[in-house]
Amino acid sequence: MEPMSITEVSPEQLQARLERGDDLLVVDLRQPWEYHAGHIPGAVSLFIEEVPMRLSELPTDVDIVLQCWHGHTSLDVATYLIQQGWLASRIASLSGGIAGWYTPTGCWGWSEPRGDAALARFAHQAMARMAEGDSHAFHGMRRIATCIDVGTMLYLLAHISTWLPRREGTSPYGAWR
């Protein structure tokens, strides 16, 4: 079997297409809580684990741009969709994912300048989920650390303990020893 060639679009290309109003669908493959914390304007949420069960929800007559955190998972899903019958010319992956979207466009797709307030909301949700034992949330926090400036990171670190749910006899990091 020949290796499949997947089209990758840059954040600048995607932004230009969105601004022109091109007929396309941006699919955010991250977890729903990550999507709700902030996403590319107009994107729909379809968690990667749900893709096989929700294929019928994806149109075949418009271009689809798949987006994940860094652009690796979206390449895999693009390959899968093409193997399932979608035209390769209609499927693309956002190069660099949401992290790539942040750097060149200067925002995460949120309304706040640079996305810092929305990023703080995302971190707050991730910290609460980590406290509940959600390992996916840990990976989400690790990923955003590669996408934010030092000032925002210091802000997040200063406020982490105030965001975690506290229970009697526990610290934000687990049971008191």
- Which residues are catalytically annotated? 68
Which of 105, 99, 106 shows the shortest CA–CA distance to 122? 99
- Do residues 116 and 156 lie in contact, with contact meaning Cβ atoms separated by under 8 Å? no
- Do residues 73 and 12 lie in contact, with contact meaning Cβ atoms separated by under 8 Å? no
3-state DSSP call for residue 158?
A: helix
3-state DSSP call for residue 120?
A: helix
CA 59 to chain centre: 21
Q: What gap in Å lies between CA 33 and CA 56, rounded to an integer?
A: 23
Helix runs in the chain, H state only: 11-20, 32-37, 73-83, 97-105, 116-131, 135-144, 150-163
